[in-house]
Structure 1
Amino acid sequence: MAAASDEQFTAVIKLKPIEATPETFQEFGQVIEASIDGEEFGPHDAQLDLSHGIPRFYIMHLEDRALKFSEITHHASVTQCLGSIGSHVWYLGVGKPSIVDPTEIKGTTGADVVQSHCGHFYVPPAVDDIHAFRISGPKFLKLNRGTWHAGPLFTEKTMDFYNLELSNTNVVDHTIHDFVKKNKVVFLLDE
């Protein structure tokens, strides 16, 4: 008898995206919008942490990124900035940062702590803590260190995004949580 695949028993959770604004996105990072040329650095600017390596700023070409996801990732050593070239509408699934210091864990919550293959410790993202955001217009997102994210997602066939991270982020600082394998769910953006 053939074994049943994980996908046969997967529940679909619909998420209604909300517009990313400085207020709605503050738990996960920052929404950076246009400012007047010559304005001095302040809290409205991206508060970056690129101190653990060589910064990498590049254009990412993506194709066929439907409005659904079952995997989510985080980076423990860097803030990451993403924005669409041309200010096209795009979407991002997110969960709050959950990196922990194992020496500060008390009680039974330590049972939920996982060590990433990258070396740091974290609590896996909870299904109920996943949110979806719509990003439109001339702005970009700065993700806090450890913010779980899935995307960029979009309805166009292809889109280009600028991405600011570290030169080796996707090699040495890329932790993935698979919701199908771990939680038997997949997320669908209900736009």
Structure 2
Amino acid sequence: MYPPHTDTTDHITAQPKLTEKERAVRRLLRSSPQDLWLDTLRRTRGTEHCALVHWMLCQPECDFAVAVHAFYRCNPTDFLDNPRPLPARPRTHDIFALILRNWETGSYRTHRLKLEAIDADPSIVSQVRQKLMIYSEGTLPFTIPPAFIDPTGGSPVKVPPHLQPNEIREIWSLFSDLGLNVHTSPPGFARRIAQVRWLFARLRQGARQA
């Protein structure tokens, strides 16, 4: 989850220093299709990667599916239970506010990718829809676009083989160094050995239980 904003002031605070690891991932994403963007977003670990998520959401090419995934990672039901005005200039951790502000100015209108349950859990989507029904029109201090509560359409994500984070050593290394959720072992012989050991361990465990 990405944390909710805790105040609504418009002062500008210092942004976290951008690491070389994150610069490298950003360079990769700049030259990659949105399929890898959504795949990358699925690998983020909440607050640890807010700066990367914030950057992705501010790029003009950011797909609707990327924004909606991030929207539901913010746990929007919390914002509906305790509605507060959005900051005019969302900071790095103000992901919920950033998405809604950017939508207001025309972002995320390209919808090429399909959202799966991992991106927008149907039960959470239903909860958001039900909570919105409680409020009369115009009573919320922010507007959730109707498209966000009916996120249909698009094509399934297909990350090209040469950009698969778990299969291409260079990309695996970038993602692993940044703490993104990838396989614990790099592609290649070492991973195959680890997989064989895991399989034998499972077989031994099964034999003991038989």
Same structural fold, with TM-score higher than 0.5 when normalized by the shorter chain: no
Larger helix fraction of residues: 2
| Higher RCO (CA < 8 A, seq sep 6+) | 1
If the length of structure 1 is used for normalisation, what is the TM-score? 0.25
> Considering only CA atoms, is the larger Rg found in Structure 1 or Structure 2?
2
TM-score, with length taken from structure 2:
0.23
